[in-house]
Amino acid sequence: MKLFILWTLFGLSFAQHNPHFRLGRTAIVHLFEWRWVDIAAECERFLGPKGFGGVQISPPNEHIVLGSPWRPWWQRYQPISYKLCSRSGSEDEFKDMITKCNNVGVNIYVDAVINHMCGAAGGEGNHSSCGSWFNTSKKDFPGVPYSSWDFNDSKCKTGSGDIENYSEKHQVRDCRLVSLLDLALQKDYVRGKVAEYMNKLIDLGVAGFRVDACKHMWPGDLENVYGRLHNLNTTWFPSSSRPFIFQEVIDLGGEAISSSEYVHLGRVTEFKYGAKLGTVFRKWHGEKLCYTRNWGEGWGFMPDGNALVFIDNHDNQRGHGAGGSSIITFWDSKLHKMAVGYMLAHPYGVTRVMSSYRWERNFVNGKDENDWMGPPSNSNGSTKPVPINPDQTCGDGWVCEHRWRQITNMVIFRNVVSGQPLSNWWENQSNQVAFGRGDRGFIVFNNDDRDLDVTLNTGLASGTYCDIISGQKEGNRCTGKQIHVDGNSRAHFRISNRDEDPFVAIHAESKL
């Protein structure tokens, strides 16, 4: 019996670490604030053909609508009910997206906001994305329904009712995060409602969840909710597949709650990854790229099999959440391409690429006063479509980092080298490094203030390869630099520090 319990516990939990990527795919893209119809089109015209493994979508459930035309992006982190109509579209559009993406091998991961409902000052009325009425002073959400019984306030011991001190476990989990009404997840009824919402999504065909604000929920409560979840829909996934779970826990060290309390339940966002790699590529605090020789656990990150990694996310690219000023975003495009390239080449973790929209930044005393700005919108507040330009970039303020050639091609690189160990490390004891992935791929970075000119062992078979950073292989032609690998696997690399992209990457399928 004991063995059986152990088996079910471990069997269940470790299964939730698997993203269930299809067709040898390896990377997730966060299409932040995209509409469902645009995601469906993007799966068919771009993500499927280019080998992306999945999309993290913005929360699909009903949320508060704040002002007109104010509508900050973060209104979607204030649930009103679990009905599937949101700024991104209707339930029918949502279903259509899941079907279209699944049919081209691209998984959908839902951003699940289950720690709380809207802010305490949300008021009364039906200013919500499906028009459900609610009243925050009575804590009444008939759209679910939740009533005042279903919230944690009686457990919270702070004067304000909000979290005041992150070094006290109980208040982080029982009080309100920035005044958001905190759900009582120890209650069977609340657990049931949350699981019902997530199961509806699983049955529709999603592959898993980014679970928002996990630090603010007790691991035991989450374990109970996850334990109630259905297996994935067998139209697209093998039978008995558990949903992929990746939990947002910000752990940069020094707080009462650490990510290790959650790793048995699913993967956890490794926030140290982007913060540290940002410091390295910016060369702050004496950091050098050569110090990443033991990148991963060697840098104090969580075990590889538990980590979900990213260079920036929707919070820290605009000063929310955590990570600080070292975070490298699309605003620093040259460094961003290199850092994302490094992440995708390196074997550690399940990788997520950010895809953003541009907003007008307005720094006052170092803080961006426009950090609230929502996605490109029409005058009635509805989100604009994502138009595709003739050169395949996106228009109307959508940045589409995932469509930048260097980043798309590195997503393909990661697929090609999947399963191969890190090999043939080289460095100049400064900011020039190179490494391979077995006999499948090789990458060289020059982040120094001088040129790189060196002959290296690549581990690749002899032949001429097309560099997928300066160009790519098209038919049997290479639109970028060509790299010649000799019979001893050696190749000569020249990278000027003044190059638009001072890195070079080749792989088995970029061979001419």
Of 6, 9, 23, 252, the residue at the interface with ligand AAO (CB under 6 A) is 252
Phi then psi for residue 77, to 5 deg, are -95, 20
Contact flags string 173-202 toward ligand AAO, x per CB under 6 A: ----xxxx----------------------
Burial class, 280, CB count within 10 angstroms (exposed 0-12 / middle 13-18 / buried 19+): buried
- Cα 232 to Cα 237, 290, 495: the distances in Å are 6, 42, 46
Residue 166's CB is within 10 A of a number of other CB atoms, namely: 14
Radius of gyration of the chain (CA): 23
Listed residue (1, 150, 6) closest to 79, CA to CA:
150
- Candidate ranges 100-108, 113-121, 231-239, 418-426; the one touching ligand AAO (CB under 6 A): 113-121
Of 78, 86, 279, 409, the residue at the interface with ligand AAO (CB under 6 A) is 78
Contact flags string 150-169 toward ligand AAO, x per CB under 6 A: ----------------x---
Kindly list the strands in the beta sheet with 452-457, ordered across the sheet, starting from the edge strand earlier in the chain.
Answer: 452-457, 490-495, 482-485, 463-466
Listed residue (27, 34, 32) closest to 50, CA to CA:
27
* Smallest gap from residue 166 Cβ to ligand AAO (A): 5
Q: Does residue 113 touch ligand AAO according to CB under 6 A?
A: yes
Q: Does residue 283 touch ligand AAO according to CB under 6 A?
A: no
Q: Does residue 248 touch ligand AAO according to CB under 6 A?
A: yes
- Give exposure, 317-348, as e/b (b: 16+ Cβ within 10 Å): bbbebebeebbbbbebbebbbbbbbbbbbbbb
Q: Tell me which residues in 200-219 interact with ligand AAO (CB under 6 A).
A: 212-213, 215
What letter does residue 149 receive in the DSSP assignment? G
- Candidate ranges 35-43, 246-254, 489-497, 504-512; the one touching ligand AAO (CB under 6 A): 246-254
Give the nearer residue to ligand AAO in terms of CB position, either 213 or 505: 213
Residue 475's CB is within 10 A of a number of other CB atoms, namely: 6
Count of residues in contact with ligand AAO, rule CB under 6 A? 24
Task: Determine the Cα angle at 110 with ends 104 and 112, to 5°.
Answer: 175
Q: Which residue is nearest to ligand AAO (CB)?
A: 119
Give the nearer residue to ligand AAO in terms of CB position, either 173 or 191: 173
Q: Does residue 74 touch ligand AAO according to CB under 6 A?
A: yes
Q: Does residue 322 touch ligand AAO according to CB under 6 A?
A: yes
**Distance of alpha carbon 342 from alpha carbon 200, whole angstroms:** 37
Listed residue (259, 250, 257) closest to 320, CA to CA:
250
Give the nearer residue to ligand AAO in terms of CB position, either 180 or 399: 180
Pairing mode, strands 350-355 and 27-31: parallel
Q: Are 505 and 469 in contact (CB under 8 A)?
A: yes
- Tell me which of 42, 182, 248, 261 is the catalytic residue: 248
Q: Does residue 128 touch ligand AAO according to CB under 6 A?
A: no
Q: Does residue 321 touch ligand AAO according to CB under 6 A?
A: yes
Phi then psi for residue 30, to 5 deg, are -95, 105
Of 21, 34, 52, 77, the residue at the interface with ligand AAO (CB under 6 A) is 77
* Smallest gap from residue 213 Cβ to ligand AAO (A): 4
Question: Among all chains, which residue has been given the structure tokens 């690189």?
Answer: 413
Task: Determine the Cα angle at 265 with ends 79 and 272, to 5°.
Answer: 80
Give the nearer residue to ligand AAO in terms of CB position, either 180 or 407: 180
- Judged by DSSP in three states, 145 sits in coil
- Candidate ranges 74-82, 340-348, 419-427, 468-476; the one touching ligand AAO (CB under 6 A): 74-82
Q: Does residue 67 touch ligand AAO according to CB under 6 A?
A: no
- Tell me which of 42, 62, 93, 212 is the catalytic residue: 212
Q: Is 92 a catalytic residue?
A: no
Helices 333-345 and 405-417: crossing angle in degrees, nearest 10, is 10
* Smallest gap from residue 404 Cβ to ligand AAO (A): 24
Give the nearer residue to ligand AAO in terms of CB position, either 104 or 322: 322
Q: Is 248 a catalytic residue?
A: yes
Q: Is the dihedral of CA 321, 259, 265, 107 positive or negative?
A: positive
- Candidate ranges 319-327, 335-343, 359-367, 437-445; the one touching ligand AAO (CB under 6 A): 319-327
**Residues taking part in catalysis:** 212, 248
Binding site for ligand AAO (CB under 6 A): 74-75, 77-78, 113, 119, 121, 166, 177-180, 212-213, 215, 248, 250, 252, 255, 315, 320-322, 324
